[in-house]
Amino acid sequence: MLLKYFYDKSLAHASYLVGCQRSGEALVIDPGRNIEPYLEAASVEGLRIVGAAETHIHADFVSGSRELADRVGAKLYLSDEGPAEWKYLFADQHDVQLVHDGDTFRVGNVKLEVVHTPGHTPEHISFMLTDEGGGATEPMGIFTGDFVFVGSIGRPDLLETAAGLVGSAEKGARQLFHSMRKFRELPDHLQIWPAHGAGSACGKGLGAIPSSTVGYEKLFNPALQYDDEQEFVNYILADQPETPFYFAVMKRVNKEGPALVRELPTVAALDPRQVTDLAQRQMVIDTTSSGDFAAGHVAGSVNVPSGALVQWAGFFVDYTQPLYLLTTTAALDANLRGLRSIGIDNVAGYFDADEVRGLRLRKETYGSETPAELREAIESDRVQLVDVRSATEFAEEHIDGTEHCFLGTLLRSLHTLERDRPLVVQCRSGGRSAIAASVLQRAGFDVINMQGGIEAWKKAGLSVVQGPARATV
């Protein structure tokens, strides 16, 4: 048997290639939309991908199952658990086996058994793996998807916070409690292979190591320590990360079936002289570094550097409108893969950053100052200080008098911010606040980015306080 781990850091997404070297066949668990890494790995190992299996209808990335079915004829193993409204609508378009609790399927001599583990979503399933080719008669591990993570457990509130299904959070939490009790009955030796790691918004406090065991999680996973259902519900619904807006789009896309990459239109280079006018009417994302952007950029463009594109673009992009990129030709393909991984397919064209830089266009800049330079203006209320970190980070510590406005909700919170004095934006170290500065400047605010964020503020010997954020939306 072969088990190969893939990790997309930008999405904190883990997927797996399971292969039987005797039969030469392989299957992918929870594939991402970019299937090239799986095809390349299978080729190196002399394997042919014949299947793909999903633990649930994903909310945070576009699934690659349909892509594998189209490209290599992979058979799809999809959940048929849960209510009618959470069924896969594209199941009749490919070779699909709809599976239920207790069902089994194989890739060569490797057996996978379906375990219904609802809570994160109603249709969620896990896959217990037994390597019968190696002579085993008992499972060696379980693919837990978004059910059990290393050090955490999947959040049950996404259908309510992302898809607007009122009351589904508590119902999901109670389902998750019973799934968790089922998990605690599993043998301690079983390895667990989750679909996400640290940084994912699909749970709170996820560990950064790729795998664990059932026994270890029983001992140290906070979510597995509850015997009282209500106490568990209270715990699991508290302090979850902010839900990205695009999660609702991803649920719909993965339920209906994502467009195939080969069907997407070519993204062509546009006349760089058009960028100034277009940026006033449409969303133009400049993917260059925040330092270069601050020093001079096309008026009206929004800065989301390539390394942060997947994490933040879904908060700012209107999926119903065309998007334009300002990027280098060398970085274009990687940026498109990142955007398409979260379903942003409507990229209408791009402007070559090197060509734009060579033109004499009207440029904008915004200020960037140190905490020491800003201290007197902040303390005298000549500026409004805005902290764009998460609510959890804000509650742990923040600068006294700061307005909290999470970066992801910034576009929806502009009405809460003052326009009669400059805004100073601040995060932990200056990266997120640089993105915020570009969004605010595009909206007409006079904005300054605090260099080094709250970390630099503390290093300057300035004080911070604790307490929850005031709601801004």
Of the ranges 49-58, 200-209, 229-238, 307-316, which one carries the lowest mean pLDDT score? 200-209
Residue 65 pLDDT greater than 80, yes or no:
yes
- Tell me if 309 is assigned to some domain: yes
Q: Are residues 210 and 348 in the same domain?
A: no
Mean pLDDT, rounded, of the chain:
94
pLDDT digits (tens, 9 = 90+) for 365-377: 999 999 999 999 9
Q: Are residues 122 and 178 in the same domain?
A: yes
pLDDT digits (tens, 9 = 90+) for 82-97: 999 889 999 999 999 9
In DSSP notation, 18-46 reads: EEETTTTEEEEES-BS--HHHHHHHHHTT
Q: Which residues contact 232 (CB under 8 A, 6 or more apart)?
A: 173, 176, 177, 180, 223, 226
CB of 147 closer than 8 Å to CB of 117: yes
Residue 465 pLDDT greater than 80, yes or no:
yes
Residue 469 is predicted with a pLDDT of: 62
Sign of the C-alpha dihedral computed for residues 254, 260, 264 and 267 taken in this order: positive
Instruction: Give how many domains the chain has, as a whole number.
Output: 3
Q: Are residues 242 and 342 in the same domain?
A: no
Q: Which of 329, 364, 399 is the endpoint of a domain?
A: 364
- Amino acid letter at 473? V
Range of the domain at 303: 264-364
Q: Are residues 360 and 389 in the same domain?
A: no
| Domain containing residue 208: CATH number | 3.60.15.10
Residue 443 is predicted with a pLDDT of: 96
If DSSP codes are grouped into helix, strand and coil, which group holds residue 222? helix
Q: Which of 333, 364, 395 is the endpoint of a domain?
A: 364
Q: Which of 256, 290, 324 is the endpoint of a domain?
A: 256
Q: Are residues 299 and 332 in the same domain?
A: yes
- CA distances (Å), origin 368, targets 414, 421, 426, 452: 21, 16, 11, 10
Q: Are residues 200 and 281 in the same domain?
A: no
Residue 198 is predicted with a pLDDT of: 87
What is the Cα–Cα distance from 176 to 229, expressed in whole angstroms?
A: 10
Residue 470 is predicted with a pLDDT of: 57
- Tell me if 32 is assigned to some domain: yes
| Domain containing residue 440: CATH number | 3.40.250.10
Proportion of the chain above pLDDT 90, given as a percent: 88
Q: Are residues 314 and 427 in the same domain?
A: no
- Tell me if 473 is assigned to some domain: no
- Tell me if 359 is assigned to some domain: yes
What is the Cα–Cα distance from 149 to 61, expressed in whole angstroms?
A: 17
Residue 472 is predicted with a pLDDT of: 45
Q: Are residues 252 and 396 in the same domain?
A: no
CB of 302 closer than 8 Å to CB of 442: yes
Q: Are residues 199 and 147 in the same domain?
A: yes
- Tell me if 468 is assigned to some domain: no
